[in-house]
Amino acid sequence: MSYLVQLRMQLERSFLPLACECALAGDNSLTVKLYHPATGQVDLVVSGLNVATLRTPEAVAALIEELRYELESSGLNRSSAL
């Protein structure tokens, strides 16, 4: 389980100043929510991530890049306004 703590910390650092919440479901899938800590406004929620595929640094880096792409594509990322 310590890799989940490390994953959460890496995601949190990667998306500052946005806040990051990671929730593990009973089926071992992960939900990641990125939001503005001051307002609570959610920019991105991704559910159903397979935790078993996120055990390598390369897999985590790929997830971070994919989440960044989704944030940019959505046009909701207002982190520059913080």
**Domain map of the chain by residue range?**
2-76
Question: How many C-beta atoms surround the C-beta of residue 58 within 10 A?
Answer: 8
Q: What is the DSSP letter of 19?
A: E
pLDDT mean over 68-81: 70
Domain 2-76 classification at class level: alpha beta
d(CA 45, CA 36): 12
Residue 55 pLDDT grade (very low, low, confident, very high; cuts 50, 70, 90): confident
Is 32 within 8 Å of 22 (Cβ atoms)?
Answer: yes
Q: How far apart are the first and last CA of the chain?
A: 33
7-31 mean pLDDT: 91
